[in-house]
Every structure is written in structure tokens, then in C-alpha cells.
Amino acid sequence: MNKLNQKGSVIIIVLWTAVLLTVLVTAMASKVRLSAKTALHNQEATAYWAEVMSAVNNAEMELMMQGMPPPIGEALEESEDGEIRDEAYRFNGQSLELNYETPEEVVVRIYNHGGKINLLRIPRRNMQLLIEKLLGGEEAEPEQVQDLLAVWTDWTDLNDLESLNGAEKDYYMELEQPYAPRNNPELDTVEEILHIKGFDELLKDINVDAAFTIYGNDRTVNLNLATREAMQLLPGLDDELIETIIAFREVEDISNRAEIAEIIPFENLQELSAWIGTNISNWYSIFAYPSARAVSGEETSDEEDESEYKEDPIRQAYMEIVEVRSSNALPRVYKIDPYGYLPDSAPARVDEYDIDLP
């Protein structure tokens, strides 16, 4: 019996040892696979990073070349009516094919800040109209509008005197995380507007980087370059008119107010008139990122290939804000954000709003 017991004990020990070794080998194999996947992902990320930075450098060169005269004999893009199109209007967020060869799976979009609302140059009356629109237009409560206008004035004026229903240092220093108001119209960042009393709630659903700028001296917005986010804040424009403007500028430049009047009703144009102009800014936002196809690793047929008419699912990308001073000097970089939020870059949603251009 003792020998049988001993044999049974040995078998049990051997079985348990085999189980433990199997668990150990499985765990080690899983760890090796995880390490291999991590190394692969790091390698892919490094490759993507190099491609993205190459595309950003090419985009900077593209902006420098924009200030140069076109080569003699080069065929210029024309509208359907045979009019020469302004190449500067390419920088309205559409996916670009650059003159310098760019990695195939990297998307480059450039936004000229002439298509944004300049917070440093916005007149008080226009700020009031903007607040009214965000609060519901004609349904906005006048007292609430005036209160927000008062705190905006207190933030941007040069003193600590509090306006009626405004907010100055005493209010901000009593917050859970206290800070002092700017007391200067020259804001340091676009996001600073969210620190003003009530504006974080007012702009909670707005991509403020896409709608506003603090660069340049423009007081108006160029509709050829305007982001959806900026146009959504402009009095006189609703979603259908915004999509109509985008659809129009995809095939033709908006050169004058007569052309605007072709697509915007007179009553709306009266509200919009004080906001729009034709200026082109020297400041640009450059976005570069691997395409959705490259990130997913999926292969698509030629018919399903990505194009400017297919909505881009990517929402964050490497971003630079640059100033282009001349064609013989590199752009000056003012801001870098590796995880910048893209403005709404979709093509005109003509089917959704049943848009038929004149």
C-alpha cells in the first residue's frame, strides 16, 4: 500500500508540475506576444511620426510658394465659368495635394485664419450679436446678453472697475482655482475666452480653436476660407445656408457681394454684411495626420478610395499655427499641438439639405 501511495503522490506531483509549467509557459508566451506587439506599434508610430513631420515641412514650403509668382506657362485652375480661381482659397481645410511629394497615407489640411472670427479685433456690437445668436437669436433674454457683454468688457478693458453685473478680480480670485482677469484686449490664447465668467457655458459645444483666432488684424471673415464653426456663429447664417456657401465655393470663388447675394437671401445678407470681407491672413493652421485607411490597415478598392468628397472620420491631428512673412523665409511657428482638434472638414452636405446651386 505504501508503494502505491508513493506512486500516486509522484503522479500528482508530476501533474501539478506540468500544470504549473504550462501556466508559466503560457504567461511567458503572452508576455512575449505583448512585447512584440508593443515593439511593432512603436515602430509604426515612429514611421507615422516621421511621415507626418515630413508632410508638415512640405506644407510650410507650400505656403512659402504661395507668395511666389506661378511658373510661366503653368495651367491655372479655372471655375466652370472659365474664371481663374485664387489658389489662396485652397487653404480652407480641404485635403491638399502638395507640390512637394508627400507620403501617400498622410492627409494635409491647411486653414487660413482669414476664415475665423478674430477675438482681438471684434467690435463690441459684433460681440453682442454673437452672444445673442448663441443664446437663441430673437429668443435670447436681453438681460443675459448684457450680462455676458459686461463680463467680456471687464475682461478686456484696462482697469479693475467692475461693470454693472460684470466680473473683475474679486470674482475670479474667489473661485476654487483662482486666477486674475486679463484686463487687456490682447488675449494670449483662443481658449482664454473660456475663463471668462459665463463663456464656458455659452461656448460649451463649440470648437473654439476652429471658430476663433487671435492672430492678425482682420475684423471680418472671408467666406471662401471660413470654417463651419465660424460660420455657425455669424448672424444671418443657418446650417442650410452654410452648406450652400461651402458647396458654392467648391466650384467657384466668392469674389464680391453680388455673388453672395446669389446664394444668400437679402434679409440674411443684411445681418451678415458687417461680418464678411475678402482679406487673406498671413496666419495658418496646418494639420497633418495618417489617413483613416492607414490607421485601420484596411485596403480599399479604387472606387472606395478616400477623396475630398468623403467625410473624414479623423478628429485629432498634429497641428501648427504659423505666420508666413515672405516667400524666402521659413514660416514662424506660434503654436504646436500634437493632438489638435480638427475643424469640421466634411464636404458640403448637399444631399442632407437638398441644395441646388443657382
Q: Does the pLDDT of residue 10 top 50, yes or no?
A: yes
Domain extent listing, the chain: 1-120+187-358
Residue 307 pLDDT class (50, 70, 90 cuts): very low
Residue 12 pLDDT class (50, 70, 90 cuts): confident
Per-residue pLDDT of 231-282, as tens digits, reads: 999 999 999 999 999 999 999 999 888 889 989 999 999 999 999 999 999 9
> What per-residue confidence (pLDDT) applies to 16?
80
Q: What is the SS3 string spanning 270-298?
A: HHHHHHEECCCCCEEEEEEEECHHHHHCC
Q: Does the pLDDT of residue 38 top 80, yes or no?
A: no
Average pLDDT over residues 325-348: 94
Give yes or no for a contact between 183 and 115, defined as CB atoms under 8 angstroms apart. Answer: no
Helix, strand, coil percent content, the chain, rounded in steps of 5: 45, 15, 40
Residue 114 pLDDT class (50, 70, 90 cuts): very high
Give yes or no for a contact between 134 and 160, defined as CB atoms under 8 angstroms apart. Answer: no
Residue 9 pLDDT class (50, 70, 90 cuts): confident
Per-residue pLDDT of 188-216, as tens digits, reads: 999 999 999 999 999 998 999 999 999 99
> What per-residue confidence (pLDDT) applies to 301?
52
- Concatenated DSSP letters of 120-134: TT--HHHHHHHHHHH
Give the integer Cα–Cα distance in Å for 138 and 132: 8
Give the residue, 154 or 72, on which the prediction is more confident: 154
When the pLDDT of each residue in the chain is averaged and rounded to a whole number, the result is: 89
Give the residue, 286 or 138, on which the prediction is more confident: 286
Q: Does the pLDDT of residue 118 top 80, yes or no?
A: yes
* Percent of the chain clearing pLDDT 70 (strictly above): 92
| Burial profile 244-268: b = 16 or more Cβ within 10 angstroms, e = fewer | bbbbbbeebbbeeeebbeebbeeeb
Average pLDDT over residues 104-110: 94
* Percent of the chain clearing pLDDT 90 (strictly above): 67
Which 8-state DSSP code applies to residue 157? S
Give yes or no for a contact between 230 and 117, defined as CB atoms under 8 angstroms apart. Answer: yes
Average pLDDT over residues 9-37: 78
Measure CA 118 to chain center: 15
> What per-residue confidence (pLDDT) applies to 308?
46
Give yes or no for a contact between 317 and 342, defined as CB atoms under 8 angstroms apart. Answer: yes
pTM attached to this predicted model: 0.86
Give yes or no for a contact between 230 and 111, defined as CB atoms under 8 angstroms apart. Answer: no
> What per-residue confidence (pLDDT) applies to 3?
59
Q: Looking at 180-189, 308-317, 323-332, 339-348, which range is the least confident one?
A: 308-317
Residue 300 pLDDT class (50, 70, 90 cuts): low
Average pLDDT over residues 163-191: 95
Give the integer Cα–Cα distance in Å for 202 and 213: 17
Cα distances (Å, whole numbers) of residue 274 to 122, 235, 280, 336: 11, 9, 17, 32
> What per-residue confidence (pLDDT) applies to 18?
79
- Concatenated DSSP letters of 74-98: PPPPB-TTSPBPPGGGGTEEEE---
Give the residue, 340 or 41, on which the prediction is more confident: 340
Q: Cell match 488675449: residue?
A: 187
Q: Does the pLDDT of residue 1 top 60, yes or no?
A: no
Q: Looking at 51-65, 150-164, 177-191, 293-307, which range is the least confident one?
A: 293-307
C-alpha cell at 87: 489658389
β-pair type (316-323, 212-213): unpaired
